[in-house]
């Protein structure tokens, strides 16, 4: 008696399992059908009669709609990401050939422009976001476009000015026409910061400094330049004294090679007496209070040897 009952249960269970498996297969096909070409849909329909009523539009229609929805979602995500990144923002879109969009330099009021320049990989963009938003820990990549941000005057921290920050990419020349307004501005309205990686050779930084020197001479406007020896918390970082010696050597090499009309090659290069340039040095790091000297210069115009 029990054997007959067991056989009956097994017989009933087998069709149930087969039916469930068939329904699962049909459901899977229903999900795939909108993305398949019509010939393949018809072929599937011949082996699964239940699929026929569920056949939808052709693959191109459904796939196009899906891609459009994904594109809109991507645009929204990028927009929200930029909004949450703070006041600093990229000022040249990906479809622009120029490094700096002139339109992005207009429309916002500020008292002083701080130009962050220097070789790639020195940490300029991270410093830019910290100065604009106060975030020292933002992960950044080497910038191919310039960035601009406005930091409003905050009397609680002793700010004297509303500051516009320009993060200039290391690969781009400083004589770009987009920076004409910066170099033509009065000296008291521009604060130049040359950021160099203190763990690396200074030859590239010397090239940047030479560009600043040329532009200062050409515009006939003396420039104060703060040279930030960044990443000084790293074991192999050079102190400011050693950086000065190496920069002087590199500048001597450059004037000997380029032979500028405004500098006699028989004259020795002394960093404290460069024509049209007033150089100051400080060591900086994003750790602890390692950016205090730079912040004082940017927000209050205080140079490191003048800061409290």
Decide if pLDDT at 167 tops 50: yes
**Confidence at residue 46, expressed as pLDDT on a 0 to 100 scale:** 73
Q: How far apart are CA 205 and CA 145, in angstroms?
A: 19
Q: What is the CATH number of domain 91-300?
A: 3.40.50.300
Give burial (CB, 10 Å; 0-12/13-18/19+) of 157.
exposed
pLDDT tens for residues 62-111? 666 777 778 888 888 766 654 444 343 434 434 444 555 555 555 568 88
What mean pLDDT comes out for the span 202-216? 96
**Confidence at residue 264, expressed as pLDDT on a 0 to 100 scale:** 87
**Quick one: what percent of the chain has pLDDT higher than 90?**
38
- Which residues make Cβ contacts (< 8 Å) with residue 52, sequence separation at least 6? 45
Least confident of 49-58, 133-142, 164-173: 49-58
**Confidence at residue 29, expressed as pLDDT on a 0 to 100 scale:** 64
C-alpha distances in angstroms, 41 versus 24, 25, 89, 215, 286? 17, 14, 49, 69, 60
Q: How far apart are CA 263 and CA 218, in angstroms?
A: 12
Q: The sheet that has 190-197: what strands, in order across it?
A: 89-90, 147-151, 163-167, 112-117, 190-197, 223-230, 277-284
Least confident of 36-40, 107-111, 240-244: 36-40
**Confidence at residue 155, expressed as pLDDT on a 0 to 100 scale:** 63
Average pLDDT in the chain:
78
Give burial (CB, 10 Å; 0-12/13-18/19+) of 235.
exposed
3-state secondary structure of 178: helix
> If phi over 0 gives left and psi between -120 and 50 gives alpha, with beta otherwise, what is residue 96?
beta
What mean pLDDT comes out for the span 273-296? 90
Q: How far apart are CA 215 and CA 221, in angstroms?
A: 9
**Confidence at residue 119, expressed as pLDDT on a 0 to 100 scale:** 95
Least confident of 51-65, 182-196, 239-253: 51-65
Q: How many residues are there in the chain?
A: 308
Q: How far apart are CA 303 and CA 293, in angstroms?
A: 7
Whole-model pTM? 0.66
How large is the C-alpha radius of gyration of the chain?
A: 32
**Quick one: what percent of the chain has pLDDT higher than 70?**
64
Decide if pLDDT at 271 tops 90: yes
Place of tokens 């200074």: 202
What mean pLDDT comes out for the span 10-18? 54
Decide if pLDDT at 6 tops 60: no
Identify which of 36-45, 78-87, 199-208, 271-280 has the greatest average pLDDT: 199-208
């Amino acid at each position: 008696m029990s054997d007959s009952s067991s056989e009956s249960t097994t017989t009933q269970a087998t069709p149930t399992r087969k039916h469930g498996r068939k329904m699962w297969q049909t459901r899977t096909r229903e999900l795939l059908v909108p993305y398949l070409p019509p010939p393949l849909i018809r072929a599937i329909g011949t082996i699964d009669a239940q699929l026929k009523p569920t056949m939808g539009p052709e693959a191109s229609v459904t796939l196009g709609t899906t891609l459009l929805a994904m594109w809109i979602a991507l645009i929204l995500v990028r927009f929200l990401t930029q909004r949450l990144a703070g006041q600093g923002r990229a000022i040249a879109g990906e479809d622009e050939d120029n490094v700096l969009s002139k339109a992005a330099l207009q429309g916002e009021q500020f008292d002083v422009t701080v130009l962050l320049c220097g070789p790639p990989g020195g940490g300029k963009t991270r410093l830019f976001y910290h100065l604009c938003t106060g975030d020292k820990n933002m992960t950044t990549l080497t910038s191919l476009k310039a960035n601009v941000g406005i930091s409003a005057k905050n009397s609680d921290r002793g700010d004297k000015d509303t500051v516009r920050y320009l993060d200039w990419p290391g690969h781009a020349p400083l004589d770009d026409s987009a920076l004409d307004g910066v170099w033509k501005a009065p000296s008291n309205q521009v604060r130049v910061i040359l950021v160099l990686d203190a763990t690396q050779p200074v030859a590239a930084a010397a090239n940047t400094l030479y560009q600043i020197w040329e532009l200062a001479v050409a515009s006939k406007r003396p420039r104060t330049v703060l040279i930030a020896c960044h990443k000084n918390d790293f074991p192999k970082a050079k102190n400011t004294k050693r950086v000065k010696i190496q920069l002087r050597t590199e500048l001597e090499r450059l004037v000997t090679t380029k032979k500028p009309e405004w500098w006699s090659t028989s004259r020795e290069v002394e960093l404290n007496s460069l024509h049209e340039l007033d150089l100051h040095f400080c060591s900086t790091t994003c750790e602890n209070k390692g950016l205090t000297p730079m912040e004082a210069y940017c927000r209050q115009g205080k140079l490191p040897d003048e800061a409290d």
